[in-house]
């Protein structure tokens, strides 16, 4: 009973323990082994990146696009529309309320293509 009460207090005080939280934070809520491709916010600013990602999305089905909700709104909308045009499910990850707060950086991932449940045998690019 004492251990149950202690674990209850710990989980409500510090939150539910997570497996590899830094990795999941970096890859927008995904484990590295499920990520097929990850692109930084700086790379997304390159006009050629839209065409490259379109070619990737044509080849890989069954994946999901994850967008960093802390990058500029214009960029989020651009890649949301791209995911919709290829009938890809997508998620915008804002990750508010996390214990670690830091400003968004150009080297943070802004676009991640990952499988929701299975490990990727050979990543495209990371």
Joined together, the tokens standing for residue 38 give: 């990850």
Q: What is the pLDDT of residue 80?
A: 95
Q: What is the pLDDT of residue 17?
A: 65
Q: What is the pLDDT of residue 43?
A: 94
Provide the β-strand partners of residue 40.
Answer: 109
Q: What is the pLDDT of residue 7?
A: 74
Provide the β-strand partners of residue 113.
Answer: 37, 65
In tens digits, the chain (126 residues) has pLDDT values of 556 777 777 776 766 666 676 667 677 778 777 888 899 999 999 999 999 999 999 988 789 999 998 888 999 999 999 999 999 999 998 865 555 566 778 888 899 999 888 887 776 664
Q: 44, 71 in Cβ contact below 8 A?
A: yes
SS3 28: coil
Provide the β-strand partners of residue 109.
Answer: 40
**If we measure between CA atoms, which residue out of 21, 19, 46 comes closest to residue 111?**
46
* ∠ CA 6-24-54, rounded to 5°: 155
Q: What is the pLDDT of residue 21?
A: 67
Buried b (16+ CB within 10 A) or exposed e, 20-44: eeeebbbbbebebebbbbbbbbebb
Q: What is the pLDDT of residue 10?
A: 72
């Amino acid at each position: 009973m004492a251990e149950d009460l202690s674990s209850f207090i710990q989980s409500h005080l510090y939150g539910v323990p997570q497996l590899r939280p830094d990795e999941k934070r970096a890859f927008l809520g995904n484990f590295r082994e499920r990520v097929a491709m990850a692109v930084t916010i700086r790379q997304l600013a390159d006009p050629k990146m839209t065409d490259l990602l379109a070619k990737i999305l044509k080849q890989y089905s069954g994946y999901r696009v994850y967008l960093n909700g802390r990058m500029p709104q214009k960029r989020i909308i651009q890649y949301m529309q791209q995911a919709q045009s290829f009938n890809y499910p997508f998620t915008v990850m804002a990750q508010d309320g996390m214990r670690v707060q830091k400003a968004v950086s150009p080297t943070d991932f802004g676009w991640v293509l990952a499988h929701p449940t299975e490990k990727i045998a050979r990543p495209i690019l990371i």
